[in-house]
Amino acid sequence: MSTYLIKRVLFMIPLLLGITIICFFVMRLAPGSPTDLQTQMNPKASAEMKERLMSMYELDKPIHVQYWSWLKKLGRGDLGTSFSSDHRPVSDKILERLPITILINFLSLLIIIAVAVPIGVLSAVHQDSLFDKVTAVLVFIGFAVPTFWLALLLMIFFGISLGWLPISGLRSLNYEYLSAWGQLVDLAKHLILPVFISAFGGLAGLSRYMRANMLEVIRQDYILTARAKGLSERQVIYKHALRNALLPAITILGLSIPGLIGGSVIFETIFAIPGMGQLFYMSVMARDYPTVMGILLIGAILTLVGNLIADVSYALADPRIRIS
């Protein structure tokens, strides 16, 4: 197992290198430069000043030299300095925003599992029942709903018409004056809509996948054996069938991580949540190359680690797969 782990982690390095090369070159080859934004604002900016800015950011050097110096800095754990007016280290900017993004994605992953697995199992066990048909329709619509639109509708309904939930930010104005418990409730209220929206996209996919898996497993011989032994239906379904149907779902969860992280740009922008997705959106708009590169790298690492965890838990859960 440990050699397998080491192999997998080592294999992530060329993968990450490939990803950073693609991102770096695509970004720098695009027309326009970050200095345009700064000099356009200032009518007094001369060509000379523009050149000075370019050389300060090392943008006047050939692209492979720029990549190499970015990579060397990365080796020292330095993601560079932001091009934006605060000139702070990129790693600081990302680190202060990462926890909330990870928290929301983690919560929505939990919700996806907690809701989609029972739905999938129940609709497979009661195939062609009313429940199965209703969930099939819901799942089908779930695939087609633009999540940002659903977010708008929920904001209008729960935030404006009913006034139950706040629709932007993470804290109320009076946050400082609340008790510890009050602060927790306040945070939870702010998180309900974003977490739901973030989970929504994954719900349809996983429940449909669980249903298909379960249907296949129920028809296997060992389920027939379990029934023939006289086990109760409950034991057959939840002990024998569910475990086998859950296995492939782990991989699907791993594959859904890029979608979740990508989705954080949308819901963080809509709900004005100060997370990594919002920072990414703002940095992209400001052509802040170092910050964009840093977030792309972190996003890729999160995805790879998520996939690794999925593969490892798959191997741990399935006795048939023993990697030597």
Partner 1 sequence: MNFWEMFYKNKLAMTGCGIVLLLFVVSLLAPVIAPYDPGAIDLKNVLAPPSGQHWFGTDQLGRDVLSRMIWGARISLKVGFVATGLAILIGMILGAVAGYYGGWIDATIMRFVDVMLCFPTFFLILAVIAFLEPSIWNIMIVIGLTGWMGVTRLVRADFISLRERDFVQAARAIGANDTRIIFMHILPNALASILVAATLGIAGAILTESALSFLGIGVQPPTPSWGNILTAGKDNIDIAWWLSLYPGLAILITVVGYNLLGEGIRDATDPRLKR
DSSP state letter for 176: G
Site string for partner 1, 19-48 (x = CB under 8 A): x--xx--xx--xxx----------------
**Strand-pair partners of 94:** none
For position 282 contacting partner 1 by CB under 8 A, the verdict is no
- Name which position in 9, 13, 153, 316 contacts partner 1 (CB under 8 A): 153
Tokens of 175: 């946050």
Q: φ and ψ at 89, to 5 degrees?
A: -60, 135
Residue with token string 């939840």 = 238
For position 262 contacting partner 1 by CB under 8 A, the verdict is yes
3-state secondary structure 262-316: HHHHHHHHHCCCCCHHHHHHHHHHCCCHHHHHHHHHHHHHHHHHHHHHHHHHHHH
Tokens of 159: 């935030």
DSSP state letter for 178: S
For position 261 contacting partner 1 by CB under 8 A, the verdict is yes
> Looking only at residues 286 through 305 of this chain, which bind partner 1 when binding is defined by CB under 8 A?
287, 292, 295-296, 299-300, 303-304
Helix, strand, coil distribution of the chain in percent, nearest 5: 80, 0, 20
Q: Which is nearer to partner 1, 31 or 43 (CB)?
A: 31
For position 18 contacting partner 1 by CB under 8 A, the verdict is yes
From CA 148, how far away is CA 142, in angstroms rounded? 13
Closest contact distance (angstroms) between CB of 205 and partner 1 is 13
For position 156 contacting partner 1 by CB under 8 A, the verdict is yes
Site size toward partner 1 (CB under 8 A) is: 48
For position 181 contacting partner 1 by CB under 8 A, the verdict is no
Among 96, 95, 101, 94, which Cα is nearest to 288's? 94
Stretch that binds partner 1, among 64-72, 76-84, 124-132, 284-292 (CB under 8 A): 284-292
- Name which position in 284, 309, 312, 315 contacts partner 1 (CB under 8 A): 284
Closest contact distance (angstroms) between CB of 300 and partner 1 is 6
User: Apex CA 271: angle with CA 269 and CA 272, to 5°?
Assistant: 60
Residue with token string 């932007």 = 168
Stretch that binds partner 1, among 17-25, 67-75, 127-135, 310-318 (CB under 8 A): 17-25
Closest contact distance (angstroms) between CB of 109 and partner 1 is 15
From CA 276, how far away is CA 15, in angstroms rounded? 22
**Strand-pair partners of 81:** 89
Query: Which residues make up the interface to partner 1 (CB under 8 A)?
Result: 15, 18-19, 22-23, 26-27, 30-32, 140-141, 143-146, 148-150, 152-153, 155-156, 160, 167, 255, 258-259, 261-263, 265-266, 269-270, 280-281, 284-285, 287, 292, 295-296, 299-300, 303-304, 307
